[in-house]
Amino acid sequence: LLFTFVLLSLLLNALSLKTGPSSTLFTGGYKANPSAVTTLAKSCKLTPATFGFPSKSGIAIGSKPKHRAWGGETEPPIQNKALPNVDMKTIDPWVTFEEMAECPSFKNADDDLKQAIFVSLAGGQRYLDRQRCEQSISKWTGENGKFDEAGFERALKDGRIDLAQGWAVFLVLTVGFASCIVAPTSPAPKAIEAFIDSLAQQIL
């Protein structure tokens, strides 16, 4: 547990990948004031259009955005991909953090607050698709359809965990495989083999 805590702390503090064209680092807004994040979320109208989607729903494509750690940072949005037999003008687009940040509800907010909102919706994904957006919004609302603070905080926590876990696994495997090359007789290869086997058992 201590190793995991240290690893994630270093990861969040040292992460150097960009969110996109800007020089801002995407950390899920972990430095944001929690009450300020909740206040910003509470002020939003809970519809996909608030977060950058067209008001009219388009055709949903089965493909989902990748996690930032596993190709998401270089993946083009679905609307920029050439899909066979599909009119790309009719599909639901994927929304980037930058696009959401320019929406009226968030334009004047601090960057950390906007990152916290985005990660609560998209988790570790580089893009936000409409289905995930709608699922996340449903977590923000109670039975009466109004904003539920506890539900939003759970969604925010889950999103940050998803972001951190993806990068943590990527970092462990990258460092582990590198150590196998540098020191092939070290215990790392066996540990990585056991880790991969455990993942395979969970997936298969």
Side chain identity at residue 62, one-letter code:
G
The three-state secondary structure class of 96 is: coil
Query: pLDDT value at position 30?
Result: 87
Query: pLDDT value at position 5?
Result: 43
Cβ proximity of 146 and 40 under 8 Å: no
- State the residue for tokens 């990748």: 66
Which residues pair with residue 128 across a beta bridge? 95
- Tokens matching residue 17: 């990948």
Q: What is the value of pTM for the model shown?
A: 0.74
> What are the helix (H) ranges across 89-204?
97-101, 111-122, 130-140, 149-182, 188-203
Buried b / exposed e over 125-139, threshold 16 CB at 10 Å, is bbbbbbebbeebbeb
- Spatial CB neighbours of 145, under 8 Å, sequence gap ≥ 6: none
The total of other beta-carbon atoms located within 10 Å of residue 170's CB is: 15
Instruction: Extract the residue ranges of the chain whose pLDDT is less than 50.
Output: 1-7, 9-10, 12-23, 195-196, 199-200, 202-204
